[in-house]
Amino acid sequence: MERGGLIEFKTCSVGKRMKRLMLVKDISARELAKTVGLTEVRINKLLRGERRISKTEAVNIATALDSTPEYILGVMYFEFAESSCIV
């Protein structure tokens, strides 16, 4: 659900996914904050699930961690071939 530019997902899940990607990339909260133009405090609050993530933050963080906003947000989607669509 979206509210005022912020996306409501289980924030702890967002933080867990961010932490996994940060471990793989061997990047600290300080380095990530500097890369995406946020404060280290803001990154740490996202990691702990204390703050909701905005669309822009999700895009910027995903880009910095070589991922996708969909992964960061825990969004799953499926593409269906046109032939499998029922009209």
d(CA 7, CA 17): 15
Which range among 1-5, 39-43, 57-61, 73-77 shows the weakest confidence by mean pLDDT? 1-5
The arrangement of secondary structure in 2-73, i.e. its CATH architecture, is Orthogonal Bundle (1.10)
Please give the model's pTM, rounded to 2 decimal places: 0.75
Beta strand segments in the chain, E? 2-3, 6-7, 53-54
- pLDDT over threshold 60, residue 68: yes
Report the C-alpha gap between 10 and 12 in whole angstroms: 5
- For the chain, the structural domain boundaries read 2-73
15-62 residue pLDDT tens? 999 999 999 999 999 999 999 999 999 999 999 999 999 999 999 999
DSSP-based three-state secondary structure for 2 = strand
